[in-house]
Amino acid sequence: MSTTIAHGQYPQKRPNGLVRGSSAMVMGLTGVLSKGFLNGLNDLEVIGMDNFMELLESRADPFQREKGLITVSNHISVTIPTVSHYLTSMDDPLMWGVLPLRYAFQPWLLRWGLGAHDICFKNKAFSTFFTLGQVLPIHRNKHSEHAGLFQPSMTQAIRLLSAYPFRVTGEHQQQQNQHQQHEKTASAQSSLLHDLLRDPFTEGSLTYSTTGRDVHTAPSAYLSNRHSWVHIFPEGLVHQQHPDRHLRYFKWGVARLILEAEPAMPDLVPMFIDGTIDVMDERRGFPRAVPRPFKKVRVAFGDRVDMDATFGDLRARWKALVQKAADAREAEITAAERLIDEEEQRRRRREGEGAARGARRPKPAVDPGRTGIVAPLPKKVVTSVRKPDVLRVGELPEELKHSREAEEIRIEVAFRVREEVLKVRRSLGYPDEDPAWGFGRAETWAKDPKDTKRSPVDGSVEKPST
């Protein structure tokens, strides 16, 4: 059970040295193996990487970043069995073997990814490995009742792309306005950063749960992870063996990342990978667990997307919905506080403390026996009135989850992201899709396969992804 502590502790600047060192080893060795396999045993072609490297170089100092980074790509390599008979994907981490080795042991410069909870976090060993490998646990519909667009790890992904404070209502808006007014002076920025750090991390915890029973480190609680890089496969499953490398529709998770990251939209770089399907083809024979070398592999980076031109109208519509919900929540909080005050005053009168009515409550004294910066919070007043919480980045009220307009916005964002990936696909010589096929719309495709199957839509092979 987590302890509620004072706001001044959050966020932590960075994880401790043991965690940082272990993560560097996991990310570094994985990067070395991926690079060795791609460059030493295959015919590798990398396209458009110079601009992407310039972008990564501009993000080298995590404390100076101004926005997050999202990369999106197709997902074509089949999953492979591990020694524990679980499955894991080849596209990630293999595709990142194209990065210079100097990045491999600097995890704060590398991507955060999403991995299946039932595979990558099946046991303590796997959970530790993939956590150090900067993977967030995602529940899948087939395997978990906790699956869905609004699961806690999506909140973490959104916050990794964001920066403190993680508030949408009240203090968040005031501090954001203050930031915009004073961002031109270094002294004002320094003072503002101190103010931002006083905002609480959710309920004062450095961990979060995806089921109510498991416990995972909350990476967005660390200042060093502000405006991070998140990679996502928006198709949501492995889609291979079609000669024209068609794309399925893109699921809405990528839309949440673009719409909800604060205070600015992240950068978006579309990618297309080709050839990893031959490295781990679903039709391969014995030994199935061994990747096939001597293949032609292409990794193409598209240009950084003009976010305002591409998504600005949708982001504006979304922000209007959020503002409406935030105003409603602020009104609920104000009303609840008024009722709580009235109830407290009635209680005081019943106890014969009428003279204290309206008096300011004394501040709690700091326990001199405590060490560090943590101070006890005021004891909560027992009341029958439920006070709503403020809206925080990555957490949505019901009307923002399921309203028709919210869903329409997400659908259109995902569709436009897919169009950006199609541009990169086209640059590799693949033909344009016929719009009449409707490949970019969810209704075209049958329900995601429970097992490997051939798609009735385009004849490709579909396989549940990690």
Helix (H), strand (E), coil (C) string for 384-452: CCCCCCCCECCCCCHHHHHCHHHHHHHHHHHHHHHHHHHHHHHHCCCCCCCHHHCCCCHHHCCCCCCCC
The Cα–Cα gap between 256 and 265 comes to 11
The Cα–Cα gap between 392 and 324 comes to 14
The amino acid occupying position 252 is: W
Q: Kindly give the pairing relationship between strand 111-116 and strand 229-232.
A: parallel
Span 157-162, average pLDDT: 96
| CATH topology (fold) of 7-168+196-318 | Glycerol-3-phosphate (1)-acyltransferase (3.40.1130)
pLDDT in tens, 323-345: 999 999 999 999 999 998 888 88
Q: What are phi and psi of 138, to 5 degrees?
A: -120, 130
The Cα–Cα gap between 227 and 2 comes to 26
The Cα–Cα gap between 320 and 322 comes to 5
pLDDT of res. 246: 83
pLDDT class of 364 with cuts at 50, 70, 90: low
pLDDT in tens, 393-443: 899 999 999 999 999 999 999 999 999 999 999 999 999 887 776 777 776
| Alpha-carbon torsion (412, 414, 416, 418), positive or negative | negative
User: 284 or 255: which carries more pLDDT confidence?
Assistant: 255
pLDDT of res. 139: 95
pLDDT of res. 354: 57
Answer yes or no: are the C-beta atoms of 135 and 357 closer than 8 Å.
Answer: no
User: 167 or 360: which carries more pLDDT confidence?
Assistant: 167
pTM score, whole prediction? 0.81
Answer yes or no: are the C-beta atoms of 236 and 448 closer than 8 Å.
Answer: yes
Span 176-203, average pLDDT: 40
Answer yes or no: is pLDDT of 136 > 70.
yes
Span 286-297, average pLDDT: 84
User: 287 or 44: which carries more pLDDT confidence?
Assistant: 44
pLDDT class of 358 with cuts at 50, 70, 90: low
According to CATH, where is 3.40.1130 located in the chain? 7-168+196-318
pLDDT in tens, 21-44: 999 999 999 999 999 999 999 999
